[in-house]
Amino acid sequence: MAQKISTASRHGNPPVVLPGLGVAVGFRPEYLDFERGIHVGNLEENERITRILKLALEARYGQPFVTERWGRGVYWQWIGYLPRANRTAKPVSSDVSFGCSKFFLTVDTGEGLFKCGLQVERGYVKAPPESRYCQLRPDWDWHRLIKALKPASALERELERLVLHEGFMLHAGGWEEQPVYFARAGYPGVGKLRKVLESAPKSGWAGFQLFYPMRENEVRGSTGLDLVESMLAVFREVTPAMNLCMQIELAEQSATTSRPPGL
């Protein structure tokens, strides 16, 4: 069970508590910095989004999560959360997190977008010698994602619901080349999406993201609590799709009613 943090915010205002989850939130909108990334360093525990979301996810789903990150120092570029049980269940890859589906958030400073949602990585099909641990293995969730992308499937219904009706976007294919994005107007269907993913260069890093985008003005117009609740609401929305890609299934232990802006 998540522990409530009693320390008051260093800005002089006591943190509020997430309803139903018992997690103190001192997070502020300016911690999503559209020039430098996600501010996580030199903050109190109740202000740090890494800890807030980890405790909230563990309270919601009743199981431990692993936090992953890309970046160093005070500002991180990307943060991911994956169920530890899904990694442990992998017979070959239980020692790495690349093969696991994960919730993620990032501030894309180049595109001016805050993104939050689901990520599944393929890594390399033909990895360079120094990155052999990042090479696609037979028990990675990527294979379940590809298999699930078929007409009249549960994943097709989830993608259509989220992209066509709820304002989510897709990022598919190689990450070391020009990004391939799909939104409501250009949604390709699961057949073409699968072809895009399968055609990603084998010698490059590839993956799939299903995310809800927010512009800087939307972030700045929200409170810290609003943003945390929106992130958790996005994670809830993508959980059915995530369950279709994992070896385990996430089920809520407590219910909240927050939804991201526009949903």
Q: For 108-128, what is each residue's pLDDT tens digit?
A: 999 999 999 999 999 999 999
Q: Residue 39 in contact with residue 105, Cβ under 8 Å?
A: no
Give me the residue label for tokens 């055609």.
199
More confident residue, 10 or 240: 240
Q: Tell me the pLDDT band of 175, cut-offs 50, 70 and 90.
A: confident
The predicted pLDDT at position 10 comes to: 47
As a whole number of Å, the end-to-end CA separation of the chain is: 28
**pLDDT, tens digit, for every residue of 179-228?**
789 999 999 999 999 999 999 999 999 999 999 999 999 999 999 999 99
Residue 4 has pLDDT above 50, yes or no: no
Q: Residue 222 in contact with residue 25, Cβ under 8 Å?
A: no
- Cα-atom radius of gyration of the chain, to the nearest Å? 18
Q: Which domains does the chain have, with CATH numbers?
A: 17-243 (3.30.930)
The per-residue pLDDT of the chain, averaged, comes to 91
**DSSP string of 91-133?**
TTTTT-STTS-EEEEEEETTTTEEEEEEEEEEEBSS--GGGGG
The whole-number average pLDDT for the span 238-260 is: 83
Give me the residue label for tokens 């990585």.
121
Q: Tell me the pLDDT band of 13, cut-offs 50, 70 and 90.
A: low
Provide the token pair at 46: 């109740």
Residue 67 parent element (H or E): strand 65-72
